[in-house]
Amino acid sequence: MLRPFLHYYFMKKDFQINYEYFRNADELNDIEKKLLEKAKQARENAYSPYSQFSVGCAVLLENGEIFSGNNQENAAFPSGLCAERTALFWISANFPHEKIKKIFVVGGPKEFSENNPPIPPCGACRQSLLEYEIKQNENIDLYFSNMNNEVVKVESIKELLPFYFDSTFL
């Protein structure tokens, strides 16, 4: 994506974000359904005694393996970590050369109600996902969902980070 502010400094401009919405799991393909289920299973093991907000995620690698993560909280709050980064950092530590194809995130309050919408990744997790997209020079499909299996899909984290920060600014 171009950096519009470098090229069109004096112009007003709109961004368009491309995403897909799935009403329920029936609209997903087989691998997507599997990732949704894995992410939900991972959510069950989230350690979220303080926020009561549990998130699970499942990550598909190019070699076909699926790994999961969930949020890990701490009494010293900043020491905790989101589900997405728990999984991404572990994967990068153990499979540094394997490309990440898809990540599926399912989250919401422990006591889920029908009204909880699909939960998008927080800003820090978006930035981490961006780092791995750039590192592997290939986009990652990101799905985020709720417990009703409503799913939003974007084909690159850049859709959710139009003015992203990367190493070219360093």
Residue span binding Zn ion (CB under 5 A) among the ranges 35-43, 81-89, 91-99, 133-141: 81-89
Catalytic residue check, 37: no
- Which residue shows structure tokens 């907000």? 53
**Is 144 buried (19+), middle (13-18) or exposed (0-12) by CB count in 10 A?**
buried
Which run of H or of E encompasses 6? Answer: helix 4-7
By rule CB under 5 A, what string of x and - marks binding of each residue 18-57 to Zn ion?
A: ----------------------------------------
Here's the x/- map for Zn ion, 97-136, by CB under 5 A: it reads as -------------------------x--x-----------
- For residue 75, the minimal CB distance to Zn ion (Å) is 19
Binding residues for Zn ion (CB under 5 A): 82, 122, 125
Please identify every residue annotated as catalytic: 84
